Amino acid sequence: PDPLGVHLRAMGIGGGFVAVEAADVTESHRLARVRRDFVANVSHELKTPIGALQLLAEALLDATEPAGADVPDLSEDLVAARRFAERIQHESTRLGRLVQELLELTRLQGAEPQPPPEPVTVEWVFAEVLDRTRTSAAARRVDVQVEAEPGLTVHGSDTQLATAVANLVENAINYSAEETVVRVVACAADDDIRIAVTDQGIGIAPNDVDRIFERFYRADQARSRSTGGTGLGLAIVKHIASNHGGRVEVSSTLGGGSTFTLRLPARPPEDLAATLSSAGI
Ligand code: ADP
């Protein structure tokens, strides 16, 4: 029995072709799910050994730390050992971030159920973003200025929304010169809430603009690597935007700075979960 085929034939649609196509779609959904589960499982398994590496490097640094300022200089070997331990710590932290973001991305792609949407104030999102980006901003002496119309509210997951804006602000900081300004402005326009992050940084070439939201795509390999990023930040922003029924846009001039704008629906969708599942998210 083939209820779909019978139904389609009853509608006068050439059964064979449509049925084959339906089977292909089912198969490709299944493969996409297998791939997501695989990435999620591998990432999860990697978290424990990476955490152990970080702790071991820390223990090595603690154990070889000079006891006081007046202690005689460390031997050359010990200095080298400390340098290697610092490197292990740095690289394992980076690996940890990569795994964390891979997990986050697979979660957003639907490997796990989404939390039910809740009202989230833009004020809360901005406070959270400032908190999360404080260290990077201080390290580069970048002044992050936020400004929001009072009373703006969006609907969805508070942590995901904060992650999306924080990723944009992190990038704005990383791809700018020191002592510049990053502006984060929220306003209501048409039926959207718009959150725009503007930097005075290096900008993006026109032929890279369309590709930077792809996983691991980097416009400037050398620069991007040295920022310690994973190449997943914007892919995550894009998924969060679409999971919230919105989108992210960029306007940029090479050498002249960039503006990334997150556009989110101002009103809660009737049933966000239904909208998302019918969109296959
Ligand atoms: P990464 O971890 O490399 O920053 P992202 O996905 O966040 O990964 O960004 C992808 C690429 O887009 C970056 O490597 C960089 O080349 C470019 N990019 C992102 N944000 C900016 C920005 N504000 N200014 C200039 N280039 C940017």
Residue-wise pLDDT tens digits, 149-195: 999 999 999 999 999 999 999 999 999 999 999 999 999 998 899 99
Q: How far is the CA of 213 from the centre of ligand 1 (A)?
A: 9
Name residues contacting ligand 1 (CB within 6 A): 171-172, 175, 199, 201-204, 212, 218-220, 224, 227, 229-235, 258
Q: What is the pTM of this model?
A: 0.81
In sequence order, which residues have a C-beta less than 8 Å from that of residue 11 and are 6 or more positions away?
Answer: none
What integer pLDDT is reported at residue 110 of this predicted model?
75
What integer pLDDT is reported at residue 14 of this predicted model?
46
Angle between helix 233-243 and helix 76-106 axes, rounded to 10 deg: 20
The stretches of 64-143 forming alpha helices (DSSP H) are 76-106, 122-139
Report the candidate in 262, 268, 247, 242 with the shortest Cα–Cα distance to residue 117.
268
Q: How far is the CA of 225 from the centre of ligand 1 (A)?
A: 10
Is the model more confident about 243 or about 268? 243
Is the model more confident about 248 or about 271? 248
What integer pLDDT is reported at residue 262 of this predicted model?
98
For the sheet with 192-198, list strands across it. 143-148, 181-189, 192-198, 258-265, 247-252
Whether this model's ipTM surpasses 0.90 comes out as yes
Percent of the chain residues past pLDDT 90, beyond the cut: 61
What integer pLDDT is reported at residue 112 of this predicted model?
63
CA–CA dist 193, 127 (Å, integer):
17
The residue whose C-alpha atom lies closest to atom 11 belonging to ligand 1 is: 218
* Closest ligand 1 atom to 231 CA: 8
Residue 252, pLDDT above cutoff 70: yes
Best residue among 94, 175, 237 to mutate for probing ligand 1's pocket (most ligand atoms within 8 Å of CB) is 175
Residue 73, pLDDT above cutoff 60: yes
Residue 33, pLDDT above cutoff 90: no
Instruction: Answer for the pair 149, 195: CB distance below 8 angstroms, yes or no.
Output: no
Mean pLDDT value across residues 11-22: 54
C-alpha triplet 115, 168, 55: angle, nearest 5°: 75
Residue 208, pLDDT above cutoff 50: yes
What integer pLDDT is reported at residue 1 of this predicted model?
44
Q: How confident is the model at residue 36 (pLDDT cuts 50, 70, 90)?
A: confident
Residue 127, pLDDT above cutoff 90: yes
Residue 38, pLDDT above cutoff 90: no
Q: 10 Å Cβ neighbour count for 226?
A: 10
In sequence order, which residues have a C-beta less than 8 Å from that of residue 175 and are 6 or more positions away?
Answer: 199, 201, 202, 223, 227, 258
The residue whose C-alpha atom lies closest to atom 7 belonging to ligand 1 is: 233
Residue 54, pLDDT above cutoff 90: yes
**Residue 266 per-residue DSSP state:** S
What integer pLDDT is reported at residue 178 of this predicted model?
94
